[in-house]
Chain A
Amino acid sequence: MTTLLALLPVLVPALCAVAHFAAGHRRGPAKAALPWLLVGSAAVLLGDAIVLAALVLTDGPVVAAGGLLRADALSVFMLVVIAAVALLSGLATPAHLAAERAAGRAGTRTAARYCALVQLFVASMAAAVLAADLGVLWVAVEGTTIVTAFLVGVHRSRAAVEAAWKYVVICSAGIALALLGLVLLHYAAHRAGTGAGLDWAALVLTAPTLDPGVTRLAVVLLIIGFGTKAGLAPLHAWLPDAHSQAPAPVSALMSGVLLSVAFYAVLRTKVIADLAVGPEFAQALLLASALASLAVAASLLIAQRDYKRMLAYSSIEHMGLLALGAAIGGPAAIAAVLLHVLGHGLVKSVLFVGAGRLLQIRGTSRIAEVRGLAADQPVLAGCLGAGVLALIGMPPFSIFASELGIARAGFAAGSAPLAWATAIALVLVLVIAAAMVNHTSRMLLGEPGPRPEPSGGTTLTRTASQLAASTGTALIGGLVLAAALGITAGPLAGLLDAATRTLTGGTP
């Protein structure tokens, strides 16, 4: 029973992917309903995560599949994030695909393949967070690169091919460094003679016996490697390209949750590093990377001309904040980091879905060419405006609470470098907030200009430019959830607490 629960998050999307592939090669009336399978599998994932959460909170971690999979509170929390974002992205997919088909950019075959790849993408993210063994985690994270490569390059335009190429080469090379780190960590564990292998829980228990010299080398490689995939500077160059070229629901998944899954690997590494070589080592690495990411995001957001790239750079900003929180460490900061992961996932997926819709309606992703959206599309404009406000950390949304938590923990840690870093980060966050509000207000307000011809050559009819009910549900639902989460963590509080304890000592 528990084995099944731990396997479902990987199996269900994988089986759905097979169904999509099969449907893509058959002609029949059932095809129109198939994009909804994405919503179905995400709902199953969410239900499964809730049951697993109850189980893990009462009985402790669930081990399944011969010790390959292990669900502790942190894995289950990440599973909730994956399911929530997959649900939002899935809700937006049918309307997105319908609009693409209407514009002649996607056939039935392409749509089926697209859905199948998204399902595999979700399955490999679930496998990554449920993996007990860091090696399996690595294989799953690299798996996400492989399945998303064709999603990024789905349009086959010059820009899309370029984005996909950079994405696969930079991420694979970065993640190869993480593999080298794993090899060295395995060597250190092997020499310690405790038989821990790469099993995370066993490594945490035996971490003090690891050789500090080799572990230090391994930790540097692991943090740079998984940090590449998480979009942390200095190896962030792929992120704005990939996230701006991918179709909107895929961007939502990549920005909202894939980055966090890679960051989850960094968090797991940090626990081992802190025990084996002392907390200062990983802290210095993460702090440098956090400030570099925030600085990159701020400098490129100020004069940003493309709204999808604006959202992508904002993801680099938020990954930088997560790295800052992880560097600060301690229960308060880690709880804020985890809340930030969920809040950012919800809000960023709402914004990418909204931006994708905007791109379909206006046919341009340039900020300067979108004017007066509020008069034209009040619901979409309202959601985008509220989403950007949530993203820059306005109350009542949860990002306000988590940023406040990270900042307070930073100043309370009682170390001068941490306090300075937090202060610099706050200044950069303010700069970013000003830039994003400025860009967004120019798009939303003002007189709508002459309506430009949408790309694809077909003029949109009145109905086609209306927001589909499912997309609207995703947009508003995501924002409402993020706001509710800002007021109270509600039923998630227990899980959040247990997940924090997993990362800060307590029982692994």
Chain B
Amino acid sequence: MSDTAYVQLLNLTAGAVLLCAVLVLWRRELAVIIRLFAAQGVALAALIAVLAWHEGSPELAVLAAGVAVLRAGVLPAVLRRALGTAREGTEPVREVRPVVNVAASLLAAALLTLLAFAVSRPIVELAPSPATQAVPIGMAVVLIGFFVLVTRRRAVSHLVGFLLMDNGITAVGFLTTAGIGLIVEVGVALDVLLALLVLQVLTGRMREAFGNTDLDELRELHD
């Protein structure tokens, strides 16, 4: 692969990862948000595949396949199950009243992206290359994920926010070095999957106890 093609593909896939994160802020239907999350998983896997191709590393190619299966297949399926039972009920399947409205959220995403570029300066300067120059995008996805986590009220939105953070971290990991070791990589993936399964079960229990999954209802415990 020629160098220009590599850089273009890298930027294209990294841009797609960021775009999906921003679109999550824009759309309110929870089902669409989950689909966007799956699309981001595909883009992330493509990003790693591009890196694998460039470095001619079969190990990275295998990891790219693993990321695709986990983040575009398994995790969205678990999210859909968390959402699934809600559909039969009276619960709305939309993010009804986010704490920050959509226009302000998009503005915040722009600011967070700028912030990501600012904080990533030392990372890029340490070893300038097309891959590390894309690191700020991974950081922006982490920040946007955190933003979703603190401003959305539905349980499923929280799960997506948490997973966006994780996608961003994975992107940073692969863009800076070729991942952080196979054992740790597998351990992290397993932890994320289990944490999501735990939260999915808790979503079900929340529905049993509170009748819906509006996190505003969580105010039994306070001082």
Contact = CB atoms under 8 A, between A and B. Distances in A.
B188 A157 contact: no
10 contacts: A143-B194, A146-B195, A161-B209, A162-B219, A165-B155, A165-B206, A184-B176, A198-B184, A213-B125, A214-B126
Given A176-B162, A183-B172, A184-B123, A136 B183 contact: yes
Nearest to B194: A146
Contacts of B125: 213
A158 B210 contact: yes
Contacts of B202: 149, 153, 161, 164-165, 168
B198 interface: yes
B108 interface: no
Contact of A169 (B121, B162, B176): B162
Contact of A214 (B122, B190, B199): B122
B62 to A, nearest CB: 19
A199 to B, nearest CB: 10
Contacts of B173: 183, 186
Interface residues of B, number: 47
Interface stretch (A44-52, A187-195, A454-462, A463-471): A187-195
Contacts of A180: 142, 168-169, 172
Given A158-B220, A159-B220, A300-B223, A190 B198 contact: no
B81 interface: no
A166 interface: yes
Nearest to B187: A139
Interface in B2-33: none
A133 interface: yes
B181 interface: yes
B127 interface: yes
B184 A190 contact: no
A240 B149 contact: no
Given A133-B181, A139-B188, A162-B219, 10 more contacts: A139-B187, A139-B190, A146-B195, A156-B208, A159-B220, A164-B202, A166-B221, A197-B181, A213-B126, A309-B223
A211 interface: yes
Nearest to A197: B181
A135 interface: yes
Interface in A171-209: 172-173, 176, 179-180, 182-184, 186-188, 190-191, 197-198
Interface of B: 119, 121-123, 125-127, 142, 146, 149, 155, 158, 161-162, 165-166, 168-169, 172-173, 176-177, 180-181, 183-184, 187-188, 190-191, 194-195, 198-199, 201-202, 205-206, 208-210, 215, 218-221, 223
A165 B176 contact: no
B198 A149 contact: yes
Contacts of B215: 165
Interface centre among B123, B142, B190, B194 (most CB of A within 10 A): B123
B184 A133 contact: yes
A138 interface: yes
Interface in A10-41: none
A489 interface: no
Contact of A179 (B119, B188, B219): B188
A472 B126 CA distance: 59
A182 B199 CA distance: 24
Contacts of A176: 142, 162, 165-166, 169
Contacts of B119: 217
Contacts of B169: 176, 179-180, 183
B146 A162 contact: no
Interface in A97-118: none
A240 B180 contact: no
Given A136-B184, A187-B123, A190-B177, A304 B223 contact: yes
B209 A157 contact: yes
A142 to B, nearest CB: 4
A304 B222 CA distance: 11
A212 to B, nearest CB: 8
Nearest to B199: A168
A186 B180 contact: yes
B158 A169 contact: yes
B176 A183 contact: yes
A158 B209 CA distance: 6
A172 B195 contact: yes
A216 interface: yes
Contact of A172 (B162, B177, B180, B210): B162
B183 A68 contact: yes
Nearest to A186: B180
A187 to B, nearest CB: 4
Contact of B180 (A157, A182, A245): A182
